[in-house]
């Protein structure tokens, strides 16, 4: 058995995968018959909600997906029996503690590599769960199948309204009319996303490096399997957070987002300008003119305007999120890499900048260092919910990035109107927006062909992208436009 060299190169187990592919069923039957013969015998006691053989199937499917994505990727699993609550709303396939017996058996027979979990004390950075990964023997079984990533789906009943506690753990809750409404609307939104093709055409492979973690590249994959959004509330409080997370477009930078195609059509991103500052100002009846992050040049001595604005913006948003001044200043410095000017700004420097911001926005003095961020995220999630709802009703995909939205460039003007209406409904007035480009619905009819040509000439469609698009169309019986 080959050991897991880097157990930190991992992700948590995903227990919401399923497949009806006959080769999946065949592989499960083979492993079950060979290694779990005693489980076929009838046993006294209550029957599990999900048969043990199906739990083996779910585990194998997640191992297969991880292996397809990255042969070195391992899966984190808790070996604590209390971690598996078959009645939990976050466990839609009712995985039970019996899966631990399945995992141990697969380890014993050499189908899984393992790195045992470690615990060095509460809060220790070295704490981690057990890691598992398909062994060479299981990989050989995977290689012998014709099962593709597209043959594996997420189950429709997976919970998408998530409540997390102060320790970030999942919190059980009882449903209300409100949670049922949110779930129904988000599932409808996710169905619209699933019915449309969203991609980065300039990339040969459906993945890109977005940073580094522990000396390794952080790879973001994209495509139809990375569309599922969840609405996440925090601190065990329905008034905290509530934003939508999970779309791969949220994990790439603005330069890549500008190249996104939806159904092979260019897109435009429209964002709220200074959203949280604007929300606070609207709540206090104050109008903000111009850029909320623009201070007189020289407010940060020796910096060009672009860098000064970046420093000011980061400081103000950090101050709105922080509970006190000292933690805000520490967090601000922590946002910048070694050698960056922001890293070396002293408390005195930052205090002077805070006072300059208060002079520009006196109404924000009572808002900074008061933990406003988590509440403001809840407010902006209500705006996003309305934008989602409008486009879901007409079955048009719109991609949200918390304070911005991406849409087919034929609907940019429409999106801006919807964002204005949504923000007015939530905070009492339409909030200002800016767009990354011009929409077809914003130009005169006689100019639209020119805009179409101009946009299309700037789209780079690699062979890999065209193959992905063709495969998706074939799978969904969609004729080329």
Q: Whole domain around residue 220: which residue ranges? A: 192-279+373-475
Whether residue 164 has pLDDT greater than 70: yes
In a domain, 451, yes or no: yes
Query: How does strand 74-77 pair with strand 265-272?
Result: unpaired
Q: Are residues 257 and 395 in the same domain?
A: yes
Q: Which of 141, 158, 175 is the last residue of a domain?
A: 158
Q: Are residues 355 and 380 in the same domain?
A: no
Lowest mean pLDDT among 125-134, 260-269, 345-354: 125-134
pLDDT tens readout for residues 106-147: 999 999 999 999 876 666 667 899 999 999 999 999 999 999
Q: Which of 117, 115, 111 is nearest to 59 (CA)?
A: 111
pLDDT tens readout for residues 243-259: 999 999 999 999 999 99
Rounded CA gap, 435 and 429, in Å? 19
Separation of CA 326 from chain center: 30
Question: How would you class 306 by CB atoms within 10 Å of its CB: exposed for 0-12, middle for 13-18, buried for 19 or more?
Answer: exposed
Lowest mean pLDDT among 33-42, 147-156, 381-390: 33-42
Q: Are residues 218 and 99 in the same domain?
A: no
In a domain, 132, yes or no: yes
Averaged pLDDT, 11-27: 97
Rounded CA gap, 321 and 183, in Å? 28
Is the pTM value of this prediction over 0.85? yes
Task: Report the percentage of the chain scoring pLDDT > 70.
Answer: 97
Q: Are residues 197 and 346 in the same domain?
A: no
Rounded CA gap, 122 and 116, in Å? 18
Q: Are residues 46 and 137 in the same domain?
A: yes
Lowest mean pLDDT among 106-120, 139-153, 166-180, 459-473: 106-120
DSSP secondary structure code for residue 164 in this structure: B
Q: Are 371 and 323 in contact (CB under 8 A)?
A: yes
Q: Are residues 330 and 430 in the same domain?
A: no
User: Given this model, what pLDDT does residue 383 score?
Assistant: 99
Averaged pLDDT, 261-281: 98
- Provide the residue count of the chain: 481
Rounded CA gap, 385 and 402, in Å? 10
Q: Which of 211, 187, 191, 209 is nearest to 200 (CA)?
A: 209
Q: Are residues 143 and 249 in the same domain?
A: no
Number of domains in the chain: 3
In a domain, 39, yes or no: yes
């Amino acid at each position: 058995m080959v050991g897991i060299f880097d157990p930190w190169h991992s992700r948590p187990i995903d227990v919401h995968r399923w497949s009806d592919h006959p080769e999946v069923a065949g592989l499960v039957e083979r492993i079950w018959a060979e290694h779990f013969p005693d489980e076929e015998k009838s046993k006294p006691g209550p029957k599990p909600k999900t048969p043990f053989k199906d739990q083996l199937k779910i585990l194998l499917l997640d191992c297969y997906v991880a292996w397809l994505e990255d042969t070195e990727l391992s899966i984190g699993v808790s070996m604590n029996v209390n971690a598996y609550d078959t009645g939990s709303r976050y466990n839609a396939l009712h995985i039970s503690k019996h899966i631990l017996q399945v995992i141990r058996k697969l380890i014993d027979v050499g189908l899984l590599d393992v790195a045992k979990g470690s615990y060095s004390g509460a809060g220790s950075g070295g704490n981690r769960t057990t890691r598992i990964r398909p062994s060479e023997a299981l990989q050989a079984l995977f290689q012998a199948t014709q099962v593709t990533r597209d043959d594996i789906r997420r189950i429709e009943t997976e919970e998408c309204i998530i409540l997390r506690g102060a320790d970030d753990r999942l919190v059980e809750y009882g449903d209300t009319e409100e949670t049922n409404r949110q779930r129904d609307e988000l599932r409808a939104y996710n169905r619209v996303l699933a019915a449309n093709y969203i991609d980065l055409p300039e990339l040969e492979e459906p993945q890109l490096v977005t940073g580094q973690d522990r000396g390794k590249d952080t790879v973001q994959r994209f495509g139809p399997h990375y569309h599922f959004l969840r609405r996440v509330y925090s601190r065990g409080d329905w008034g905290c957070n509530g934003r939508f997370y999970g779309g791969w477009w949220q994990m790439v930078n603005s330069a890549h987002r500008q190249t996104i195609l939806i159904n092979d059509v260019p897109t435009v991103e429209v964002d709220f300008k200074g959203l949280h500052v604007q929300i606070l100002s609207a709540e206090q009846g104050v109008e903000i003119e111009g850029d909320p992050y623009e201070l007189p040049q020289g407010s940060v001595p020796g910096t060009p305007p672009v860098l000064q604005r970046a420093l000011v913006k980061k400081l103000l948003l950090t101050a709105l999120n922080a509970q006190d001044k000292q933690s805000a200043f520490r967090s601000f410095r922590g946002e910048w890499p070694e050698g960056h000017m922001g890293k070396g700004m002293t408390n005195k420097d930052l205090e002077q900048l805070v006072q300059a911001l208060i002079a520009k926005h006196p109404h924000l003095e009572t808002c900074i260092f008061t933990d406003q961020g988590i509440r403001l995220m809840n407010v902006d999630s209500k705006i996003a919910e309305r934008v989602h709802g409008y486009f879901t009703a007409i079955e048009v995909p719109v991609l949200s990035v918390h304070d911005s939205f991406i849409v087919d460039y034929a609907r940019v003007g429409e999106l801006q109107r919807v964002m204005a209406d949504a923000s007015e409904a939530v905070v009492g007035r339409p909030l200002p927006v800016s767009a990354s480009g011009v929409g077809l619905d914003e130009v005169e009819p006689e100019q639209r062909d020119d805009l179409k040509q101009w946009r299309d000439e700037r789209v780079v469609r690699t062979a890999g992208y065209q193959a992905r698009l063709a495969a998706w169309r074939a799978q969904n019986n969609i004729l080329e436009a």
